Amino acid sequence: MISHSIERKQWHLVDFALRSVRPLGFIAFMLGALSLLGYALGIDVLYRPVDDGPATHPLTALTTMLMGCGMVTSASPLPLLRRLSPCFLLALVVTCLRLFEVAYDISLVSRFMPFRQVVVEELQQGKSNSMGFNTAAMFFLAALSALFAGVRWSNLAQLFASIALCFPLVAFVGYIYGQRDFYGQMSLITATFGLIVIIGILFSTANYGALRAMLSPYLSGTIARLQSILGTIFPYSLGFALSTATATLSGKVLAVYVILTSWFIVLMVGVAAIYQEQIDQQRRRLTRRLSDVAALDELTDLPNRRKFHDFIGQKISDNVQHWLLLIDIDHFKRVNDTAGHDVGDRVLQAVATELARRCASDELVARVGGEEFAVVLPHCSQGRAWQLAETIRESVMALTIPEWTQPHGILTVSIGLVNNNGDLELTESYRKADKALYAAKRGGRNRCCMSEELETASQRAVGQEVSA
Ligand SMILES: Nc1nc2c(ncn2[C@@H]2O[C@H](COP(=O)(O)OP(=O)(O)OP(=O)(O)O)[C@@H](O)[C@H]2O)c(=O)[nH]1
pLDDT of residue 80: 67
User: Where exactly does CATH 3.30.70.270 map onto the chain?
Assistant: 305-467
pLDDT of residue 6: 45
pLDDT of residue 248: 58
| Contact in structure between 380 and 358 (CB atoms under 8 Å) | no
Nearest CA to ligand 1 atom 6: 370
**How close is the Cα of 457 to the center of ligand 1, in Å?**
30
Nearest CA to ligand 1 atom 32: 345
Q: Is the CB of 19 under 6 A from ligand 1?
A: no
pLDDT of residue 466: 45
pTM above threshold 0.90: no
Specify which residues 271 forms β-bridges with: none
Distance CA 59, CA 143 (A): 15
Residues with Cβ < 8 Å from 124, sequence gap 6 or more?
Answer: none
Which residue is catalytic, options 371, 452, 455, 465? 371
Nearest CA to ligand 1 atom 14: 333
Which of the following CATH numbers is that of domain 305-467: 3.10.129.10, 3.40.50.300, 3.40.50.2000, 3.30.70.270?
3.30.70.270
What average pLDDT values come out for the chain (468 residues) when binned by 10 residues?
54 93 96 96 91 91 95 75 80 94 84 86 88 94 94 92 91 82 89 96 92 86 83 74 64 70 77 80 88 90 94 93 97 94 95 94 94 96 95 95 89 96 92 96 95 71 50
pLDDT of residue 449: 96
Give the ligand 1 atom nearest the CA of 347.
Answer: 1
**How close is the Cα of 20 to the center of ligand 1, in Å?**
60
Q: What is the dihedral of CA 306, 308, 309, 312, to 10 degrees?
A: 160
φ/ψ (deg, to 5) at 5:
-100, 165
Q: Is the CB of 442 under 6 A from ligand 1?
A: no
Distance CA 290, CA 298 (A): 13
pLDDT of residue 84: 65
Q: Is the CB of 416 under 6 A from ligand 1?
A: no
Distance CA 145, CA 166 (A): 14
**How close is the Cα of 297 to the center of ligand 1, in Å?**
16
Distance CA 131, CA 57 (A): 6
φ/ψ (deg, to 5) at 260:
-65, -45
Q: Is 371 a catalytic residue?
A: yes
